[in-house]
Amino acid sequence: MLTGAEAPGHLRLVNTTYFVRENLWEGSVLMSVQRVGGSRGNVSVCFETHAHEIAGVSVSAVAGVDYEGVSGVVGWGDGDVEDKVISVKILNDDVYVAGRLKRSFNL
């Protein structure tokens, strides 16, 4: 088993949950992806935002209404351990709904 600098390492999100209050803020959520446990060789991961359900009920933010959907690939070259950033633009729809469930999306 390869370890340390001889291993390719693995990829992880620095944070797995981000909170944004609707109708109070417009900007981008920046999600950092790390390569840890090794740096040998080239590695990459595909990503995409998508709907989220809890117990079969959609609690998803809506792409194009609440946020701009994104997909792509982040990659690291041999020896590269710098964090990579995925940006998801949050849209303010100017509609506040009292008691609205928190909306979410998965990456």
Can you read off the two tokens belonging to residue 34? 């790390």
Burial class for 88, CB neighbours closer than 10 Å (0-12, 13-18, 19+): buried
22-26 average pLDDT score: 63
Give the integer Cα–Cα distance in Å for 90 and 32.
16
Domain extents in the chain: 4-90
Share of the chain above pLDDT 70, in %: 66
pLDDT at 17 over 80: no
CA-based max dimension of the chain: 54
Query: pLDDT tens digits for 70-96?
Result: 999 999 999 999 999 999 988 876 666
The pTM (predicted TM-score) of the whole model is 0.76
